[in-house]
Structure 1
Amino acid sequence: MTGTMGGEERKVNLSDPSLYVNRELSWLSFNERVLAQAWDERHPLLERVRFVAISATNLDEFFMIRVSGLQQQVAAELPNPVPDGMTPEEQLARIHEHTRSFMAEQREVLERVLLPALRREGINLVPYARLRKAEKQELKERFVRDIFPVLTPLAIDPAHPFPHISNLSLNLLVVIEDEGRRVMARLKVPTTIDRFMRLSGEELVQNGRRPEIRLVRVEEVIAANLEELFPGKKVAASYVFQVTRNADFVIEEDEAADLLQAIEDELEGRWFGQSVRLVVTEEMPEELREWLAINLRIDRQSVYAVPEPIGLGDFDKLVHLERADLLYPPIAPRVPDAIRSASSITSAIRQGDILLYHPYDSFAPVVEFVRAAAEDPNVLAIKQTLYRVGANSPIVEALESARDEQTQVAVLVELKARFDEEPNITWARQLEARGVHVAYGLVGLKTHAKVCLVVRREGQGLRRYVHLGTGNYNPSTARVYTDFSYFTDDPGLCEDASDLFNYLTGYSSQREYNTLLVAPLTLREGMMRLVEEQIERARGGGAARITWKMNSLTDPQIIEALYRASQAGVRVDLIVRGICCLRPGIEGVSENIRVVSIVGRFLEHARVFAFGEGEDEKLLLGSADMMQRNLDRRVEQVFPLREERHRRRVRRILDLQLSDTANAWEMRPDGTFKRLRPGEGEELLDSQAILLSDPG
């Protein structure tokens, strides 16, 4: 492959590690952009607090899955080459270095900006030492009544071995002086108790409009009343700590007699995995940190000492205080006229394909599509994939009610959806109990495709309707995740959906599809072919363009194809919210590639793949990111938009996001991101706000 440098052609090795950003470091960069929202005064105050909590929860899961995997690679002494060439040891060193500065920034924005701002709004997180005498007495009474009975102190001595510390639990290490010797005890803070205890004696704020909300962290209340747990002993000190454990697990699916039972068994061990990270308060002496690390079998670089409080993910609880004025107002998503004016959703689909963009468009039509099918005596079959459906799912309720002698209901429940395994097992059992045919997917693959197929008797024959999406069948996340929903009765797409379900639930080896691109069968090949078309067009002197929007871009083969496209003169615009291993702007390789990340009020979750420009533009939507796992180890679907009006709408969304100067960050060649701002004399362009007022 050749590239141009200073007017001369030179060969470029597109597999050179210097052309790739490390996946783990790219993810950490994304989480920095999440935390940056906590500094941004455009967001309401409690929303900014929520971003701190999200960044903390994100980091917890990163250590539970990604860091634990790297530690296992180091322990096994097995090389695991990555495109950027970093060893597992090098990655871990960079991760720990980054995490220390990141956790310091979390506390800086919390202590210096958010907590003072909350106090000005009458929400006061009060240190226990600053409480009034009457307040301390009130908390002591509540401790004795509500907390003491559920606490279980565990001694640590030769007769009492070091106890198991469950994943992400909040703990107190208690130092006790007993007859001239020092002994230790561990006390777990029960999750059944609110992390922030609200004091009953509230006073009016000076402006006289709202009562002050005074909160105390529960671990401080417990620490102040330890003498109740250790009568006759002297409590010398106590320190808060938290352990993060390996929460990943591997199922040997081809050896499991019952996949559901095998996953249930593994879930029991999620809270007992190898220790990955130890977080302690700065007040804990070095000798106690080392003692804990030794007992937890954790290396020194994985010990983090931070100012109190720890467990910042719990700050999400503050969002639920009665202060709607400090949150974004609820949005009123629209229902398109085509649906509102039709007698039924199937009749609306018969008038033309329907495209929805959540949360700007309501998710209710998706629920109604399933519910109406469940109640329709002319519906003979409903087939659906479920990946993450959330609690109290109206979709699952509709599927349960649909099962009767005339209606065949088949549901693919993905049991291996990480951190959703337990609810998915519950849904699977519940559906099976109602006579629904439940499948768990294909051995060795996760089913991530978003498809619902309805077969209906109409006149003398059958008609199929299909919903295809970029996001999960989850009404809760549909309020904050941007995703597309697409309804069609196109015979080719509907036939493809039927073939896909036969592939998922039976032994079909179907590899040919009319229109759908299906991973792991045809998606990689199809995407590469579409990229090559643009390369050939550019080489022939034609206008060529690629515009993609996705969560992550990590696949080396796809990245190489995009580099070749750039070298051929194709204009490549990438909107990548999270991980991006491609380096844009490298002369002779990627100077025609631009990478933008949108991080704002809504989580950008949709996947869009556009090829070409103008009337010749091909535009596809789907469930897959451009990652090896999505292309090779998951069942995914990507589908084309047939109607010009829908392509115009999606192109407008892409162009708005590429012009955003409120939520956008642009990637530099070194892998860092620069926040975009309006030019002199220009107004701030907030693509999410524009779409709220005019979804298109």
Structure 2
Amino acid sequence: MPPKKKSKPVQEPKLAQDRFLNRDLSWLEFNARVLNIALDERTALLERVRFLAIFASNLDEFVMKRIGLLKHRHTQGVAHAPTRPGELPPIQTLNACRARIAELESQLSSCWHKELIPALHQHHIRIITYKDLTKKQAKAVASWYRANVFPILTPLAVDPGHRFPFISNLSENLGILLESTNPDEPNQTRFARLKIPDILPGYTRVDTLATDDEEDDTPPTEEAPAIYIALDEIITNNLDDLFPGMRIVDILPFRVTRSAAVELDDDEIEDLLEHVEEELRARRFADAIRIETPPDPSPEILRFLLNELGLTTQDHSAHKPPLAFADLFTIADMDRPELKDPTWRPVRPPALADPETNIFAQIRAGDLLVHHPYESFTDSVERFIHDAAHDPDVLAIKQTLYRTSRDSPFVDSLIHAAEEGKQVACLVELRARFDEEKNVTFARQLEAAGVHVAYGVLGLKTHSKCSMVVRREKIDGSWGIRTYAHLGTGNYHPQTAQLYTDLGLFTCDPEITADVVRLFNMITGLSAGQEYNQLLVAPDHMRNRYLELIENEIANAKANKPARIIAKMNALEDRMITESLYRASNAGVKIDLIVRGFCCLRPGVKGMSANISVRSIIGRFLEHSRIFVFANASSDPQDYLYYFGSADWMYR
């Protein structure tokens, strides 16, 4: 490849609002970068399919959260929110987002139909429609449908005796126009809705059905390819038995998205757990904000659906099937290792290489910094809590849980520790977006086992990832207690720990662990105004400390001392920090930002941000760690100031 030309600073912005990029439009560009991985022919074929599914899942979440919020603000008459950098009037942002989403969905559909389906075909993986089935295959599919699908289908008619049914969020459905074959009821059309069961995979493998061996794992060949067909195709072509005595006039597959921007008033909360459960119920029945259909939908069915769902044509998105591209995970997960990235097996951290080694002795010997997923999460973080729960010398365990897996080993360990009579406290953040229901369940399980459960600080989300263990030990010849801590950038989630890059620190440093004790007292009790020696805690101290560090780099640059800032995060939105970075750039501080997601800072602008570069790293592992580095007048990186944590430079 030819060398890239050095980029030139773009023109200085003429308006104050040009100082910032719009958060929502910037996020869409982040997701476009995810899509680019799927578009890149250098990516392994099934990984390309996986990234299409990831892109689509990301976009669904964006529509639920951000489009839902923008529509709500517009309908409520909110004209502008000037406190947010790059903010535009809601309708302006909404229209710009819709236009960009349409472009991205077009690229998504084109990639799947024009590139990936043919490429899969070359590797003996065929994605077909119902009309492509041979007679033998069609017979096998029909038999499978009658045995496995037909019994769980529930057609719901709409007439004076049957109201329009509730359409659940992200559900795939068929809208069906029916006409009676009874000569006494001529020209009477009726509407019926049929939900595609979401308990079944979105794609069914046909070739194994035809051979009566659904578990066949023989590698596909040109003579015996793996053949997949979409579930909605199967159902659409086998509807007659559902509507005897009726003629099917027209069918429209459709998918509905509902807003997730539902938050009830916090002012009069008496029980946070019940409040979150009420929010979940409200979200389930939140307003519909998008309907997706194939191109050229039935005008009559579409008009009927828009009217019943309270939507307009602006809320309609038409694209070639599948409507739920997240269904492609079924294809991406098939057992074809030669079409995927090589399997990565995390290594044990050197200090913990021997599973018989006492983890607390290793931490006493020196702080341990682990880097996931390159180093094993199971053999470090999970082991820390597991061993503490089973250690008779451990007196107490405290942990925050923001997101964790459904079969969380941390929940099991905390329950075991409580049953063994240890003091166990857990902060379960009930308002972790889209994990609320799971966390409510965990909170109830932990409480039932005798764990002291807190739900966080009212009005704030507890996003910190930390745990502490209090252990009885011999210290300088006499018995005492020592506190150990784990501080991480990522969640206590075994599955995402295999996919996300995160840092974790194990320490028994007295200054750090004393801070961790204070932090838990603050988030589980009512203590306020805590001071910390080593930790930066938001919202009390973190932003001010980062502003001080940036101002220090500005002063060093003006004094002709080494000055540099390197910051890695998921998102950058905070206006005060962004303005401070602009001042640092103008003072001559070299600033390298690594921002995976949206970034409201506008880099490379003469007279404002010419010394700031922004990079976004998208790849096999999701870059999740937040790391902040300041030169502090030193030219030796070993003397720089390093911070890491779970917080981005955002308002939250």
Q: What's the TM-score, normalizing by structure 2? A: 0.92
**Counterpart check, 1:180 vs 2:187:** yes
CA distance in structure 1 between the aligned counterparts of 2:347 and 2:143, rounded to whole angstroms: 50
Q: Secondary structure at the match of 1:518?
A: coil
Q: Quote the residue 1:100 is aligned against.
A: 102
AA in 2 matched with 1:292: L
Name the structure 1 match of 2:541: 522
Q: State the match for 2:396 in structure 1.
A: 381
User: By how many angstroms is 1:211 displaced?
Assistant: 4.3
**Offset at residue 339 of structure 1 (A):** 2.1
Deviation at 1:59, TM superposition (A): 0.6
User: Residue 238 of structure 1 is aligned with which of 232, 248, 251?
Assistant: 251
Secondary structure class of the residue paired with 2:616: strand
Paired residue secondary structure (1:572): strand
Matches within 5 A, 1:459-538: 459=474, 460-538=479-557
CA displacement at 1:616 relative to structure 2: 3.3
Is 1:201 the equivalent of 2:210? yes
Q: 1:124 to 1:207 in 2, by over 3 A?
A: closer
Alignment partner of 1:53: what SS? helix
More divergent stretch after superposition (235-244 vs 198-207): 198-207
Alignment partner, residue 153 of structure 1: 155
RMSD of equivalent CA atoms: 2.0
Q: Whose RCO is larger (CA < 8 A, sep 6+)?
A: 2
1:116 is matched with which residue?
118
Q: 1:66 to 1:313 in 2, by over 3 A?
A: same
Q: For 1:274, which of 287, 295, 298 is the aligned residue?
A: 287
Instruction: State which drifts further: 351-360 or 143-152.
Output: 143-152
Q: Is the 8 A contact 1:73 1:80 kept in 2?
A: no
Amino acid in structure 1 at the alignment position of 2:645: G
Q: Tell me the equivalent position of 2:171.
A: 169
Deviation at 1:470, TM superposition (A): 0.3
SS of match in other structure, 1:453: strand
* Structure 2 letter corresponding to 1:177: E
Secondary structure of 1:175's match?
strand
Write the letter of the residue equivalent to 1:387: Y
**Corresponding residue to 1:327 among 324, 332, 340:** 340
Rounded Cα–Cα distance in structure 2 between residues aligned with 1:299 and 1:415: 34
C-alpha distance after superposition, 1:264-298 (max 9, x if no partner): 23212323210111101113133432332121111
Given candidates 339, 342, 353, the residue that maps to 1:340 is 353
Q: Deviations over 1:471-509 (max 9, x none)?
A: 001111011100001111111110000000000011101
Equivalent AA in structure 2 for residue 196 of structure 1: Y
- Supply the AA of the counterpart residue of 1:191: D
- Paired residue for 1:318? 331
2:201 match: secondary structure: coil
- Pairwise CA distance, 1:252: 3.4
Give the equivalent residue in structure 2 for 1:355. Answer: 369
Letter in 2 for 1:192: I
Superposition pairs of residues 109-148 of structure 1, within 5 angstroms: 109-148=111-150
Q: Equivalents in 1 of 2:113, 2:420: separation in Å? A: 62
Deviations 1:523-578 (A, max 9, x none): 01111111111011011111100000000001111100100100111000000000
How far has the Cα of 1:404 moved from its partner? 4.4
- Describe the shift of the 1:146–1:241 C-alpha distance in structure 2 as closer, same or farther (beyond 3 A): same
- Please report how far the alpha carbon of residue 226 of structure 1 lies from its aligned counterpart in structure 2 after TM superposition: 1.2
**Displacement after TM superposition at 1:405 (Å):** 6.3
**Partners of 1:204 and 1:210 within 8 A in 2:** no
Alignment CA distance shift 1:208-1:273 (3 Å): closer
Is the CA contact 1:21–1:580 (under 8 Å) kept in the aligned structure 2? Answer: yes
| Residues 367 and 394 in structure 1, CA contact (< 8 A), matched pair in contact too | yes
Aligned equivalents of 2:395, 2:602: Cα separation in 1: 50
Query: Is the 1:14–1:560 contact (alpha carbons within 8 Å) kept by the matching residues of 2?
Result: no
The amino acid that maps onto 1:367 is E
In 1, Cα distance between equivalents of 2:511 and 2:273: 34
**Pairing 1:228–2:241 present:** yes
Over 3 Å counting, the alpha-carbon distance change for 1:206 and 1:30 in structure 2 is closer
CA–CA separation in structure 1 for the residues paired with 2:280 and 2:217: 48
The alpha carbon displacement at 1:206 in A equals 11
Q: Decide whether aligned partners of structure 1 residues 206 and 397 sit closer, same or farther in structure 2, where only a CA change above 3 A counts.
A: closer
Measured after TM superposition, the shift of residue 340 of structure 1 is 2.2
Amino acid at match of 2:293: V
Displacement, 1:15?
8.9
Structure 1 position 129, deviation (Å): 1.0
Hey, what's the Cα distance between the residues in 1 that align with 2:321 and 2:508?
A: 57
* Residues 1:448 and 1:206: Cα distance change in structure 2 (over 3 Å): closer
CA pair 209-144 structure 1, distance change in 2 beyond 3 A: closer
Letter of the structure 2 residue corresponding to residue 499 of structure 1: R
Q: 1:15 touches 1:83 (CA, 8 Å); kept in 2?
A: no
CA distance in 2, matches of 1:518, 1:451: 12
CA change 1:88–1:270 in 2 (3 A) is same
> Partner residue of 1:296?
309
Q: Distance in 2 between matches of 1:376 and 1:487?
A: 17
User: Is 1:215 matched up with 2:228?
Assistant: yes
| One-letter code aligned to 1:71 | K
In 1, Cα distance between equivalents of 2:80 and 2:424: 43
Alignment equivalent of 1:439, drawn from 451, 454, 465: 454
**Matched residue of 1:240: which SS?**
strand
**Where in structure 1 are there 5+ consecutive unaligned residues?**
1-11, 630-696
Structure 1 contact 575–596 (Cα < 8 Å) conserved: yes
Work out the CA distance in 1 between the residues paired with 2:224 and 2:545.
60
Segments of structure 2 that go 5 or more residues without pairing to the other structure are 1-11, 181-185
State the Cα deviation string for residues 332-368 of structure 1 (Å, max 9, x = none): 2122222225831111111111111111111121111
Moved more, 175-184 or 239-248: 175-184
Q: In structure 2, what is the Cα distance between the partners aligned to 1:54 and 1:383?
A: 34
- Residue 84 (1) aligns with residue 86 (2): yes
- Equivalent residue for 1:43? 43
Identity over aligned residues, as a percent? Answer: 44
Q: Where does 1:592-671 land on structure 2 (aligned, <5 Å)?
A: 592-612=611-631, 613-614=635-636, 615-629=638-652
Kindly state the Cα deviation for residue 433 of structure 1 after the two structures are TM-superposed: 1.2
Q: Which deviates further from its counterpart, 21-30 or 193-202?
A: 193-202
Rounded Cα–Cα distance in structure 1 between residues aligned with 2:163 and 2:455: 41
Q: Distance in 2 between matches of 1:434 and 1:368?
A: 21
Displacement of 1:248 in angstroms is 3.0
Q: Secondary structure at the match of 2:537?
A: strand
User: How many residues align structurally?
Assistant: 618
Could you say if the C-alpha distance between residues 49 and 515 of structure 1 is closer, same or farther in structure 2, counting changes exceeding 3 Å? same
TM-score (norm 1): 0.86
- Could you tell me how far 1:321 is from its partner in structure 2? 1.8
Q: What SS does the corresponding residue of 2:555 show, helix, strand or coil?
A: helix
- Could you tell me which amino acid in structure 2 is paired with residue 186 of structure 1? R
